[in-house]
């Protein structure tokens, strides 16, 4: 302790811009929202502290809780469809793309990734037109292969609407898991692959036994990105079904429920306090999900790494 | 460094000075993005020609987003000087929050009847905060060529109405009725509140509901749902996913024969449709019954209480309340019927047909708008969902009515279980 360490000013200086901007536009509003959820208006329309009463309304009042659980269940299904369809397809596409014998890989990679950079508004509108029972090409295409009887106004039926929208979202975002897995596959050292070939492990068994364990951390990251993305989703549903998330709230997810409550809709006036309560519930759900991943799954994944 | 700063200061001072010498610009917030051309080409030039020094900008937002966007803008202090007012509570709330100015003192307020002003007054009628512009009338627009071709008379009674629909369906050339349930609001606005007043006897039923002497489960309020349930068979294939623009296009392309309408469609249909159109009021139960129509006070113009130019804004509002504006507006936008007491001559035959029902029938406004949509769950929004469900057949008329009644009774004192 003879020599005092010089204060390393460059660290705070270089950190400052990011910390300040992030605090101003993320941390402060986040705590503002959490705080707002503890207040509500009394009879005289003045804002008073109500503790957890808003949460009691959200989970206790049959109407609020019914809407909330409906939105949460829909959201869970939205996530399940992404996990079961988007991510396996993404991995499959990445595996195909990384095959050295595939020609025009760059073209496919670009073509599959393009929908990801499209605006939600365009995607929602285009798919609504494609699936439209009146002007859409979907009924015509099905007719051409003699399957017209399979066509239904999917976006208008309670039983199909949410799954249809989830698949549209999958179509849009399948490029992201594909790219991440593709990058992970390319980073596998050639020695490992060569050693596997020497041992006679080739083709699909090579994929299952050698490559898949090595890309598991990437799959974990993709799962958590999908989870956060899905539970924050809003745009696609709002663009294609409106804030009432029809038919009969069958496509209502937490994002649209929050929007309707916070900003109001048509004759319904906005209620920032209940809106903040829903936002807080969403924050907690996502936080719990991310923590579960970080502590229960991420720690185990490390064993597979070199 | 110092000189640059000095120059910047100098430049900004000069620019600010220049801006002050310029004309006063007033901005209108509105949800009527369909009317942009009419405001820019007809209404605004007429005002600016008579009032040099005031410039008007019409800045509409999409109808479904208007309320949310406007509320956020008003809270943030970035809203325009003139605010287009939704009827009843949405605007009343803005007035109570001090965001809309009290306009009771405007001279042109004398041009409007109490009924016309009622949608933009405090409950006691002491303050009026928006200048009424127009009401819209509900009914059915039909393809006159199709009716002539199939030999169908314009229906007056419900039996004739369904006979006509059956005939169109049997023929197969046209979809009998153009409506979808995807966007939900048409089912409530052009369905329930269109045919409903004949059952609940207009104002009589509406006021009884507010007073709590009638319930939504009473026959008069369930019967409109029963009629809607019958509409299902006459809508086009895949109507569940049919949107509002889809329905408009189906009708104007001549593929559908009848369109449950609001009079606001008239100007759009006139430019789009290549065939003759007619209109009929919601059919009554039996020949000779009194007919009731929904003549809904829909649109008004108010002043942002925080406007930087209150004098100029008031000047504009005086003009909006004048007979000159009423004539210009009603003719530029046939289907938006002036609320001004001075009679307005309209040239459009379809608009004349709609407005002629005011003499034959009793007028009322939409049942859910006054007071009854103040709480949560919101009756108007619930009615959208219930009407769409009833048309699709996923909820029975009785179950839908019961659900609405339960929702209303959960917060509205006069309706609470007795």
Task: Give the pLDDT confidence of B108-159 residue by residue, as tens digits.
Answer: 999 888 878 888 998 888 899 999 999 999 999 999 999 999 999 999 999 9
What domains can you pick out in chain B, each with its CATH number? 2-133+298-347 (3.40.190.10), 137-295+364-415 (3.40.190.10)
**In the A/B pair of chains, how many CB contacts fall below 8 A?**
116
Which of A154-163, B118-127, B196-205 bottoms out in mean pLDDT, i.e. has the lowest?
Answer: B118-127
Q: For the domain that residue A146 is a member of, what is the CATH number? A: 1.10.3720.10
B218 has pLDDT over 90: yes
Whether residue B239 and residue A156 make contact (CB cut-off 8 A), yes or no, is yes
Nearest neighbour of B369 by CB, restricted to A133, A242, A267? A267
- Do the Cβ atoms of B241 and A263 come within 8 Å? no
Q: What percentage of chain A reaches a pLDDT higher than 90?
A: 58
Task: Please state whether the predicted TM-score (pTM) of the whole model is above 0.90.
Answer: no
Cα A185-A188-A193 angle, rounded to 5 deg: 105
DSSP B35: G
* CA distance linking residue A4 with residue A2, whole number of Å: 6
Range of the domain at A75: 52-304
Among B185-199, B219-233, B325-339, the minimum mean pLDDT is found in B325-339
3-state secondary structure of B141: strand
Model confidence over A87-133: pLDDT tens digits?
A: 999 999 998 998 888 888 889 999 999 999 999 899 999 999 999 98
In chain B, positions 3-42, which contact chain A (CB-CB < 8 Å)? Answer: none
Q: Is residue A38 one of the residues assigned to a domain?
A: no
How much of chain B exceeds pLDDT 70, in percent? 94
Distance from A225 to chain B by nearest Cα, in Å? 29
* pLDDT-based confidence at residue B6 (cuts at 50, 70, 90): low
Cα–Cα distances in Å, from B203 out to A137, B78, B157? 47, 39, 21
Residue A1 covered by a domain:
no
Measured between CB atoms, does B396 come within 8 Å of chain A?
A: no
Q: Using the Cα atoms of residue B82, residue B87, residue B91 and residue B95 in order, give the sign of their dihedral.
A: positive
Using the beta-carbon criterion (under 8 Å), do A265 and B381 form an inter-chain contact?
yes
pLDDT of residue B3: 54
* Closest alpha carbon to A116 in A180, A23, A28: A180
Tell me, yes or no, whether A34 lies in a domain: no
- Please indicate if any CB of chain A lies within 8 Å of the CB of B71: yes
pLDDT band at B4 (very low <50, low <70, confident <90, very high): low
Work out the minimum CA distance from B385 to partner chain A, whole angstroms: 6
Q: What is the pLDDT of residues A230-280, one digit of tens each?
A: 999 999 999 988 888 878 899 999 999 999 999 888 778 788 899 999 999
Collect all residues of chain A within an 8 Å Cβ-Cβ radius of residue B180.
156
Judge whether A67 lies within some domain: yes
DSSP state of A293: I
Which pLDDT belongs to residue B335? 86
Q: Is A160 on the interface with B (CB under 8 A)?
A: no
**Euclidean distance between CA atoms B117 and B371, whole angstroms:** 15
pLDDT digits (tens, 9 = 90+) for B20-54: 456 899 999 999 888 888 899 999 999 999 999 99
pLDDT of A2 over the 70 cut: no
pLDDT category of residue B18 using cuts at 50, 70 and 90: very low
- Asked whether residue B92 carries a pLDDT value surpassing 70, the answer given is yes
* Torsion angle of the four alpha carbons A150, A155, A159, A160, in this order, in degrees rounded to the nearest 10: 60
Q: Which residue of A has its CA nearest to B179?
A: A134
ipTM computed for the complex: 0.81
pLDDT of the residue at A101: 84
A302 pLDDT band, cuts 50/70/90, is: low
Task: Tell me the HSE value of A141 on the side-chain side, using a 13 A CA sphere.
Answer: 8
The pLDDT score that the predictor gives to residue B389 is 94
The structure tokens listed for A175 are 């490029």
pLDDT at B11: 54
Q: What are the tens digits of pLDDT across the range B323-344? A: 889 999 988 888 899 888 888 8
Evaluate if residue B211 carries a pLDDT over 70. Answer: yes
Q: Is the dihedral of CA A220, A223, A225, A228 positive or negative?
A: negative
Q: Which residues of B touch A241 (CB under 8 A)?
A: 182
CA angle A258, A260, A265 (to 5 degrees): 165
Query: For an interface test with A, which of B88, B93, B189, B238 has the most A Cβ atoms less than 10 Å from its Cβ?
Result: B238
Among B71, B241, B385, select the one facing A156 at the smallest CB separation: B241
**Both tokens assigned to A86:** 């988007």
pLDDT at B229: 95
User: What is the torsional sign of CA B280, B281, B286, B290?
Assistant: negative
Q: Which residue does chain A place closest to B97, by CA atoms?
A: A45
Measured between beta carbons, the chain A residues lying within 8 angstroms of B236 are: 133-134
Q: Is the pLDDT of residue A5 over 90?
A: no
Q: Answer yes or no: do A267 and B68 touch at CB < 8 A.
A: no
Determine, yes or no, domain membership for A121. Answer: yes
* CA proximity to B392, closest of A246, A142, A257: A246
Mutate to test the interface with B, among A47, A58, A148, A269 (most CBs of B within 10 A): A269
Q: Are the beta carbons of B394 and A263 separated by less than 8 Å?
A: no
B216, B219, B225, B226: CA torsion to nearest 10: 160
Question: Between chains, do B392 and A131 touch, taking CB under 8 Å as contact?
Answer: no
Residue A1, pLDDT above cutoff 90: no
pLDDT of B381 strictly over 80: yes
Does residue A42 lie in a domain region? Answer: no
Q: How many CB atoms lie within 10 A of CB B17?
A: 9
Q: Is the pLDDT of residue A4 over 80?
A: no
CA A225 – CA B131 distance, rounded (Å)? 51
Residue of B nearest to A131 (CA): B241
Q: Is residue A163 part of a domain?
A: yes
Residue with tokens 């006509």: B164
Confidence of residue B17 (pLDDT cuts 50, 70, 90): very low
Residue B104's nearest CA partner among B83, B87, B127, B131 is: B127
- What would the mean pLDDT of A185-197 be, rounded to a whole number? 90
Q: Say whether A63 and B238 touch across the interface (CB within 8 A).
A: no
pLDDT, position B1: 45
Average pLDDT of chain A is: 90
A16-75 residue pLDDT tens:
999 999 999 999 999 999 999 999 988 777 888 998 999 999 999 888 999 999 999 999
Interface of B with A in 132-191 (CB under 8 A): 180-185
Q: Compute φ and ψ for B157, nearest 5 degrees.
A: -105, 165
In the three-class reduction of DSSP (H, G, I as helix; E, B as strand; rest coil), residue B279 is classed as strand
| DSSP letters for A136-176 | -SHHHHHHHTT-GGG---GGG-HHHHHHHHHHHHHHHHTHH
Dist CA A89 CA A182 (whole Å): 12
d(CA B268, nearest CA chain A) in Å? 20
User: CB contact, 8 Å: B394 with chain A?
Assistant: yes
Q: What one-character-per-residue DSSP string does B314-350 give?
A: HHHHHHHTSHHHHHHHHHHSTTSEE-BSS------HH
* B180–A265 C-beta distance less than 8 A: no
| Set of chain B residues whose Cβ sits within 8 Å of the Cβ of A248 | 385, 388-389, 394
Exposure letters A144-176 (e unless 16+ CB within 10 A, then b): eeeeeeebbbbbbbbebbbbbbbbbbbbbbbbb
* Within-domain flag for A6: no
Q: What is the pLDDT of residue A134?
A: 87
Strands (E) in A9-82, as ranges, are 39-41, 47-49
What local confidence, expressed as pLDDT, does residue A35 receive? 93
Structure tokens at B121: 């007054």
Count of the separate structural domains present in chain A: 1
């Amino acid at each position: 302790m003879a020599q005092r360490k010089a204060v390393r000013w460059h660290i705070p200086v270089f950190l400052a811009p990011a910390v300040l901007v992030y605090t101003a536009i993320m941390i402060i509003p986040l705590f503002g929202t959490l705080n707002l959820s503890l207040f509500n208006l009394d009879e005289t329309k003045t804002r008073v502290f109500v503790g957890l009463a808003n949460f009691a309304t959200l989970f206790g009042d049959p109407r609020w809780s019914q809407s909330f659980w409906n939105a949460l269940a829909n959201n869970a299904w939205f996530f399940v469809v992404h996990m079961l369809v988007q991510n396996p397809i993404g991995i499959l596409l990445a595996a195909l793309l990384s095959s050295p014998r595939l020609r025009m890989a760059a073209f496919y990679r670009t073509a599959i990734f393009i929908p990801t950079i499209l605006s939600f508004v365009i995607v929602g509108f285009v798919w609504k037109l494609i699936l439209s029972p009146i002007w859409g090409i979907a009924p015509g295409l099905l007719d051409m292969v003699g399957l017209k009887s399979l066509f239904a106004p999917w976006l208008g039926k309670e039983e199909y609407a949410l799954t249809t929208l989830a698949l549209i979202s999958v179509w849009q975002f399948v490029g992201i898991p594909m790219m991440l897995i593709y990058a992970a596959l390319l980073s596998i050292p050639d020695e490992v692959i060569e050693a596997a070939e020497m041992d006679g492990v080739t083709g699909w068994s090579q994929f299952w036994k050698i490559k898949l364990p090595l890309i598991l951390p990437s799959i974990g990251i993709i799962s958590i990105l999908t989870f956060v993305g899905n539970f924050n989703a809003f745009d696609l549903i709002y663009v294609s079904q409106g804030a009432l998330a029809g038919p009969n709230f069958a496509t209502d997810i937490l994002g649209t429920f929050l929007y309707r409550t916070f900003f109001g809709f048509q004759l319904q006036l906005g209620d920032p306090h209940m809106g903040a309560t829903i936002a807080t519930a969403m924050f907690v759900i996502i936080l719990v999900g991310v923590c579960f991943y970080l502590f229960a799954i991420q720690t185990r994944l490390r064993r597979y790494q070199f | 460094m110092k000189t640059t700063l000095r120059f910047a200061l100098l430049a900004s001072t000069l620019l600010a000075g220049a801006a002050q010498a310029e004309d006063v610009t007033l901005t209108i917030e509105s949800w009527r993005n369909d009317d942009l051309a009419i405001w820019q080409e007809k209404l605004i030039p007429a005002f600016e020609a008579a009032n040099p020094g005031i410039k008007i900008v019409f800045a509409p937002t999409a109808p479904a987003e208007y309320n949310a966007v406007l509320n956020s803008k008003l809270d943030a202090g970035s809203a325009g000087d003139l605010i287009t007012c939704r009827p009843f509570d949405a605007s009343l709330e803005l007035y109570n929050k001090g965001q809309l100015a009290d306009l009771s003192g405007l001279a042109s307020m004398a041009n409007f009847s109490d009924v016309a002003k009622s949608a933009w007054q405090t409950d006691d009628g002491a303050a009026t905060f928006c200048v009424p512009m127009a009401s819209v009338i509900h009914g059915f627009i039909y393809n006159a060529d199709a009716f002539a071709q199939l030999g169908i008379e314009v229906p007056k009674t419900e039996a004739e109405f369904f006979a006509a629909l059956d005939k169109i369906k049997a023929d197969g050339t046209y979809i009998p009725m153009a409506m979808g349930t995807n966007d939900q609001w048409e089912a409530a606005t052009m369905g329930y509140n269109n045919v409903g007043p004949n059952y609940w006897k207009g104002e009589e039923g509406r006021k009884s509901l507010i007073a709590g002497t009638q319930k939504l489960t009473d026959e008069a309020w369930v019967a409109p749902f029963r009629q809607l349930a019958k509409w299902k068979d006459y809508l086009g294939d895949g109507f569940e996913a049919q949107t509002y623009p889809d329905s408009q296009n189906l009708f104007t392309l001549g593929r559908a024969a009848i369109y449950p309408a609001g009079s606001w469609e008239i100007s759009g249909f006139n430019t789009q449709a290549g065939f003759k159109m007619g209109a009929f009021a919601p059919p009554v139960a039996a020949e000779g019954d009194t007919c009731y129509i929904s003549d809904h006070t829909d649109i008004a113009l108010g002043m942002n209480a925080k406007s930087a130019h209150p004098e100029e804004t008031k000047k504009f509002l005086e003009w909006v309340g004048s007979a000159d504006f009423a004539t210009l507006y009603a003719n530029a936008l046939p289907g938006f019927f002036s609320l001004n007491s001075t009679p307005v001559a309209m040239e459009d035959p379809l608009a004349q047909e709609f407005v002629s029902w005011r003499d034959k029938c009793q007028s009322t406004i939409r049942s859910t708008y006054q007071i009854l949509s103040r709480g949560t769950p919101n009756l108007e929004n619930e009615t959208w969902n219930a009407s769409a469900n009833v048309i699709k057949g996923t909820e029975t008329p009785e179950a839908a009515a019961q659900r609405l009644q339960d929702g209303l009774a959960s917060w509205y004192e006069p309706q609470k279980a007795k």
